[in-house]
Amino acid sequence: MTDTSSTSANRPMIELSDVTVRYGGNVVALDNTTLRIDKGDFVALVGPSGCGKSTILKLVAGLLEPTAGAAIVGGREVGAIGSHAKRLGLAFQNPTMLPWLSILDNVMIPLKIVEPFRQDYRRKRKGEFRERAEALLEQVGLAGFGNKRPWQLSGGMLQRASLCRALVHEPDILLLDEPFGALDQFTREELWDTMQDLWINRRPTVLLVTHDLRESAYLANRICVMSSRPGRIIEDQRVTFARPRTLESSYQADFTSLVQSLRMSIADARAPSSAQNTEPRPSLEEVSA
Amino acid sequence: MNKPLPRWRRNLLSFSAMIGFFLLWELICRALGVSELVLPVPSQIAAVLIDKMPVLWPHTQQTLMTTLIGFFLGVFIGLLIGVIIGSSRVAYDIAYPLLVGFSSIPKVAVVPIFVVWFGSGTIPAILTSMVIGIFPVVVNVATGLATTEPELEDVLRVLGAKKRDILWNVGLPRTLPYLFASLKIALTSAFIGTVLAETVASNKGIGNVMMIASGNFDVPLVFAGLFILAALGVALYSVSALVESRFTSWTQRGKGSEAA
């Protein structure tokens, strides 16, 4: 396979340089943001709601183009023709399974679209590709559910399937937009472990957007805290806990104090905007756990 | 709400309702001594059907073929227009008033125009049924495409899918239930179009037979034609319902399998 990154081995996988994004002329979603993410890193973006976390993700995914500045993913400017030289995998908060396909067919969608798999799709979808998708489903604890329809599965199961779909074409970059946000606490923690295993085994570059600070501390190598709108990155912190991290380790003092300090940073970040804002906002309940 | 009846009982009940309807018809006509020139009894109509079948059969085929050709042409063109105006907001806004204008023309009015263009015969009948079938297909396909959730499309867009990939893998499957809903309407209205054109300007088909029979005061034959039309209509509807349930089973959840 030809790989353009061989010439630029030291270049970050994701490079946002002084990026500004404006919606509809006035609303500044992202203001002069610079963010570099190395190959194989696991970065979490946290911040108050509406701070532009998802905007960064959409930018990297190529669903948005920057108003100003440059967004370079895998050595190519996003939005440019052929910008999908690097493979992307994406999982949203909503599993967005296509209801007319079985779970297995849903997981195999990227193989139907992305080169070089799509050329072989007709030939291999019954054999090799099917086995690959089934192996992934087994890895996340969904063995034997491939022939079910999406509406026959619970929310947590759908989210697992959605992770499989994001990974089946072995993406270089995995983009996760609050993938566990709609799940209950127990399912969420279970899926953290699933996610961690997948990352340890495959080492994709991961960008995780979340509002759950424990989640970010559990999963990421690096946590970027963003300010409220217009969003900027105000803190960039390494997480050095040994892997694999476990639920027990997430209740130890250093973990708790990291979460605590993140929480303080976000409280500071919210301060200027809440001063202007007359209506009281609820506090960040999700970190109180 | 009442509990739904088991399938075999439902079928049995609707079958007996049908038989009961004909029995009642027969009894009332005989009791009141209604003339066959006004309303022939079902048994007489059945006798005419069997008796005249060799003559009626070619006309039945003619009507069926005309309807099907007109229907498929209408669906094909409707699908094409629907996809075009459904995938672009601008096209939707521009074309919609035009379509509403076309659809509100009473279709009887276009038959004479087709006759002027193509002479009386099969072609005006095909065109009439086609014209009637186009509109419901266009509207439903365009609506289905225009209301596709952007999240579903994003799933493919981030993978670098082209517009055609998205249309083929998300837009069209998502639109299938809408399309099939419109097919049932298009099929029955194509049928109306055929019979209409046959009555006005043709020398073949059930519509024409009924026209001539009523001119000869052969009322039982008129009713025999009506029965054939009803049978054809039911048959066409059942076929489209069958095809629909095959292709859009995903919309009918909870049948045959329970949630995990």
Q: Is B61 left (phi over 0), alpha (psi -120 to 50) or beta?
A: alpha
In-domain check, residue B191: yes
Higher pLDDT among residues B224 and A50, named by residue: B224
The helix, strand and coil proportions of chain A, stated in percent and rounded to the nearest 5, come to 40, 20, 40
A109–B159 CB contact, under 8 Å: yes
Count contacts between A and B (CB, < 8 Å): 72
**For chain A, what percent of residues have pLDDT higher than 70?**
87
Looking at beta carbons, which residues of chain B come within 8 Å of A114? 159-160
Looking at beta carbons, which residues of chain B come within 8 Å of A96? 149, 151-152, 154-155
In-domain check, residue B207: yes
Residue B179: name the closest of B105, B249, B247 by CA: B247
Looking at beta carbons, which residues of chain A come within 8 Å of B174? 98, 100
pLDDT in the model for residue A285: 45
Interval B72-81 mean pLDDT: 93
CATH number at residue B199: 1.10.3720.10
Token pair 């049995």 is at which residue?
B12
pLDDT in the model for residue B28: 93
pLDDT in the model for residue A125: 73
Residue B204: name the closest of B53, B52, B56, B54 by CA: B56
Query: Would the pLDDT of A68 be above 50?
Result: yes
pLDDT in the model for residue A80: 53
Q: Whole-model pTM above 0.80?
A: no
pLDDT in the model for residue A85: 52
C-beta neighbour count of A136 within 10 angstroms: 23
For residue A159, give the amino acid letter: Q
Question: Among A154-163, A265-274, B94-103, B182-191, whose mean pLDDT is lowest?
Answer: A265-274
Higher pLDDT among residues A262 and A118, named by residue: A262
Confidence class for position A5, pLDDT limits 50, 70, 90: very low
Rounded to 10 degrees, the C-alpha dihedral A170/A115/A176/B164 comes to -150
Question: Among A135-139, A143-147, A269-273, B190-194, whose mean pLDDT is lowest?
Answer: A269-273
Rounded to 10 degrees, the C-alpha dihedral A232/A238/A244/A250 comes to -80
CA atoms within 13 A on the CB side of A204: 25
Interval A33-50 mean pLDDT: 87
Confidence class for position A79, pLDDT limits 50, 70, 90: low
Query: Would the pLDDT of A69 be above 90?
Result: no
pLDDT in the model for residue B255: 47
Query: Taking every pair of C-alpha atoms in chain A, what is the biggest distance, in angstroms?
Result: 61
Domain that holds residue B105: 41-247
In-domain check, residue B9: no
Question: Among A85-94, A184-193, A243-252, B213-222, whose mean pLDDT is lowest?
Answer: A85-94
Is there a contact between A50 and A71 (Cβ–Cβ < 8 Å)? no
**Can you tell me the distance from the alpha carbon of A23 to that of A82, in angstroms, rounded to the nearest whole number?**
25
B250–A94 CB contact, under 8 Å: no
Query: Would the pLDDT of A287 be above 50?
Result: no
Collect all residues with Cβ–Cβ distance below 8 Å to B107 and sequence separation of at least 6. B128, B131, B132, B192, B193, B196
The token pair at B219 is: 């009322």
Interval A115-137 mean pLDDT: 81
In-domain check, residue B19: no
**B208/chain A closest Cα distance in angstroms:** 45
Query: Would the pLDDT of A236 be above 50?
Result: yes
The token pair at B93 is: 């806004």
Looking at beta carbons, which residues of chain B come within 8 Å of A63? 154, 157-158
**Can you tell me the distance from the alpha carbon of A27 to that of B222, in angstroms, rounded to the nearest whole number?**
71
Confidence class for position A286, pLDDT limits 50, 70, 90: very low
**Can you tell me the distance from the alpha carbon of A199 to that of A193, in angstroms, rounded to the nearest whole number?**
10
Collect all residues with Cβ–Cβ distance below 8 Å to B92 and sequence separation of at least 6. B85, B86, B142, B146
**B171/chain A closest Cα distance in angstroms:** 11
In-domain check, residue B260: no
- Report ipTM for this prediction: 0.71
**Can you tell me the distance from the alpha carbon of A173 to that of A61, in angstroms, rounded to the nearest whole number?**
9
In-domain check, residue B10: no
pLDDT in the model for residue B21: 94
* Number of structural domains in chain B: 1
CA atoms within 13 A on the CB side of B92: 14
Confidence class for position B75, pLDDT limits 50, 70, 90: very high
Q: Is residue B255 less than 8 Å (CB to CB) from chain A?
A: no
Interval A143-148 mean pLDDT: 87
Confidence class for position A289, pLDDT limits 50, 70, 90: very low
Burial of A192 (0-12, 13-18, 19+ CB in 10 A): buried
Confidence class for position A272, pLDDT limits 50, 70, 90: low
Interval B171-188 mean pLDDT: 88
**Can you tell me the distance from the alpha carbon of A142 to that of A163, in angstroms, rounded to the nearest whole number?**
11
Mean pLDDT rounded to a whole number for chain B: 86
In-domain check, residue B6: no
Confidence class for position A61, pLDDT limits 50, 70, 90: confident
Interval B138-165 mean pLDDT: 85
**Can you tell me the distance from the alpha carbon of B149 to that of B85, in angstroms, rounded to the nearest whole number?**
17
Residue A69: name the closest of A232, A273, A226 by CA: A232
In-domain check, residue B169: yes
